[in-house]
Structures are given as C-alpha cells and as structure tokens.
Chains A and B, each alone.
Chain A
Amino acid sequence: MSTSSNITTTQETPEMNAPDLHLLERPPQVLNNRGPLWVTDAVCSIVEGKTPLWWYAAIAFTGTFAAIGGACILYMICTGVGVWGSNSPCFWAWDITNFIFWVSMAHAGSLISALLFLTRQKWSLSISRAAEAMTVFAIVCAGVYPAIHIGRVWFVWFLFPVPNSYGMWPNFSSPLLWDVFAVTSYLTVSSLFWFAGMVPDLAVLRDRATTKIRKFAYGIVSLGWLGTARQWRHYEMMYVLLAGLTSVLVVTVTTIVASDCATSVVPGWHATIFPFYFMVGAVYSGSAAILTLLLPLRLIYPQLRDLITSSQLDKVCKLLLLMGSCVGYVYVFELFNAWYSANPFERGAFWERFTGSSAWYAITCLSINLTVPQLFWFKAVRRCLPLVFVLAILCNVGMWFERFMIVTSTLTHDFLPSSWKDFHPTIVDILTATGTLGIFFTLFLLFIRFVPIMSMNELKATLPGAQPHGDAGHSNHSTEAMR
C-alpha cells in the first residue's frame, strides 16, 4: 500500500490515514516495497554488525542480576528453604508465584507463533521468532523454581517416573507430577519449534559468514541446510505439525498448571474456572511481554520499523485488550461464584482477600488489570508507542500481582483462622526473583546478538512477486503441506 517504490527512508505505514476504501485491503507484511535482499540484510545486519556498546552495558547489568539470583539459589540449597519467607500455612509463596508468572508469560509466544500460523494470521510472521524465543527463555526461568522449591534438590529424581530406594513409585494422580511432565514437554516442544523454524535462517548466516569461526558455528547449527525442494517439502510439513502440537500443548500446560491449584480443596482455588483463568491471563501477560521486548528493539534498530509495522503492533494491542477483558471477566465471575456458592469458607476467602492483610496487592492487581487493558480501546493509545510500552509493563506488573494474589492470599487464609499467618518475602526471595528477570533478559540479549530475530524465509515468501503465481499475498506458504 506504500505509494512509492523509491522510498529509501523508513516511514510509518500510511494506511492509518487511508480512506475507507482501503479498510478491507490487508496492510503489507513489509513496508516500503522492500525486496528479499533488503529483508535479509536488515535482519542479518543485527547479528553481523559490530557489537554495540549498549549491548555490553545491558548484558553486564542483566548478567549481574542473574549471577546474584544464582548465588541466592546456591545459598538456599546449602542452607534450606527457611531462607525464604515461606511458612506454615503459606508453604507456597514466591517460588510458585514466579513459576506461574513465567510459565504463563511463555504461552503468548507459543500462541502467536503456532495458533496464528495455523489460522493464517500472517501479520504475526515478523514477531513470531522473537515471541518463540520469549517462550523458551520464560520456560527456562519457570523451570528454575519447581526443581529448587522442593528444598532438598538432591531428591529431585523422586519426581521422575522411577522407583526410589524403597521401591516406591511417584504418585501419578498428583498434579505436581503432571507439572513435571507438562513443563518438560513444553520446554522441549517450544525449543524444538523455535530451533527448527530457525534452521533455514541459520543457513543464511552461514552462507554470509565472513570469518572462519562464524562459518563453522553457523555451519554446525544449520545442520547442512541447502534449501532443496525436498527439504522444504518436509520442512513445511514439520512446521504445520509442530504448530498443531504446540497449540494443543499451550492449552494443556496451562490447564495442568491451573490444576495444581484447582484440584486442591482450598477455598479460593477449588474452582473449575481456573484453567480458563490461567489461559487468558497467560496470553494477556505474554502479549504485554512481547510489546515490552519489541518496542525497544524497534527503537534501537530503525530498519525493523519496516518489518515490525505499526499495524502489527496494533494487532498485538488488540489481542492484549481482548485477553485483558477476559481476565477482567474472570475476576468478576470469581467474586460472583464465591457469593453464589453460599459456602462460608469460599465467601470468607474472598472477603479476606480484599479486606485483610492481602488487600494491598489484591487491590493493586485488580485496579491494574481491570483498567489498563481497557485503555487499548482507543486508537490514539494504541498508536502512541511510548505509552503502549509503559502500559505493557504495567500489565505485566499487574499480572505478577495476580499470581501473587492467587497463591499467597489463598494460602495465608485457610480453613482455620487460628493458623492464619501472613507472608513476608525475605531478601533471598526478592533477589532470586530479580535473578530470574536477569536470566530472562540475558538470554534475550544473546538471542538478539547471535541468531536472526525474524523468520527471513517466511517473510521473503510473502513478499510481492515471491511466488510464481503472484499469490504470495493471499495464501500461506504452508498451503501445500496443509492440504
């Protein structure tokens, strides 16, 4: 829809001012009529250029937090879980809060790359690789907690399906064991999805490599990809299959994680809405995280503005709005359910949540998650990217408080008022949590620097004139495989 093919400077998409006639026309994947060569250069230049100074500064900063987090974990393992603020009756606190927070954030990445791929929502092409990377790194952060929260980590093999030294097998009906399988398979599948999708692009980096070390390294990881018609045939089939498997996995994993809470009989947790509650919350926080990651990238690398267009960001904002509204609905429904159940413990749990010692974070969570996403109804808000960035961070803060509220406020107020006890995080809790943030951003910085952050082959396949019938704009490249 760009008016001129000779535009050399980066421009915003003009469709926002276009007359109504253009409303039905799909905005182009890549703005300003860029060709395949330009796409390759734009994406590869991020990896091939000299390492910028900000990158060193950033990774030193995030790496420090990651290292402190690692030291805290080591300290916890050597000393015991007593160094955390977890107590009786709040046996789960920041460990499970952060586990749920991270694993949930991972879901939007899978959803954007897999589900939107299957439904031929091609606007997600340029952001899907970064979204998948976010998924993998968030699961890595989530995976830190289940292993260490058991306290005596050397007994972690009790979670594996093998008999222990007494010949006793794990309890397969326990949601905690389901968790182990869910998280393991989620990490495996999303890493495979991410890596397999990257192989053709790694081969591009191999072909363009100028130094021996780069050629060797990218040569190894690209597995000898040549882009033959046979390879593409199997590759496309694999991509469709993986997208299908991942889409199912997203729903399964959230459901299982929600079952950790829902299958207990604790008031405030024992609700059938939990899987849906976790699912929408997951996509909501993940969409916000994608915006938080992509907007600075777009600022640092101006060439990406033609690839991550404002119309695509607009769609992510709308996804955020939809999921944020679902989250709001669940909050209201949960309160209604507590009242309608006529169960004094259920009612009491929610009354305590909003009036007791947990009120400050419960109210923080509700006030952020009920209002902030609603601002995205306004086009002016969605188009103002600095504001979107701030709101997206706020959404994630809100979601962290939601996880904290679900886990802690419920556990601190169980059936017996005499056993109620508040939770206060210790410095080890706090530094471990910031440590996972450090791990996440360190991994993301490495991702930006060493692998192509966008799927070049998918983008090139959709450029005008990329396909023999000139139908690139109308059908997905997986059409053949999907038949």
Chain B
Amino acid sequence: MEELILKLKQEIIEVLNLEDIKPEDIDNDAPLFGEGLGLDSIDALELIVLMEKNYGIKLQDPAKGKEIFKSINVMADYIQKNRTR
C-alpha cells in the first residue's frame, strides 16, 4: 500500500502540474479538494482520467468522485480494491 500511495502522489503531482509540491508534502489524510491541496472541479476530471488510464478504473457515476477523492488514503484504498491493471 505504501508503494501505491507514493506512486499515486507522484502521478497526481505530474498530471495536475503541482510544480512546487513534493510527495512528502501531501498529507495522506488531508482533503484533496477545498482545504488541503485545494483542488477544484477541473482537477476532479483530470483525476477521473488518471484512474482510468493508469488503473483501468472507469467511474460510471462521476458524482462518486467526491467520495473517492476525499484523501490520498481513501483514493489509494479504492484503487487497490478496484484496479484492473
């Protein structure tokens, strides 16, 4: 799980172009949206694309993203349980 979390953080930094942020700066339990990383709805779309492209997870209901993208830990847990690649 630790390995997946680190990989996920690196992918998020790259895909969202978070230039000044390092993986260790992202708190595993901090909210990704609003407070914490301060991501927005366009970032949510980018994360949906990332999940499908890198882990084969297609979110049928985009509204579920709010729950899944709650924090790095929640996201990594969802990927672990649902990934197809």
**A, B assembled together:** no
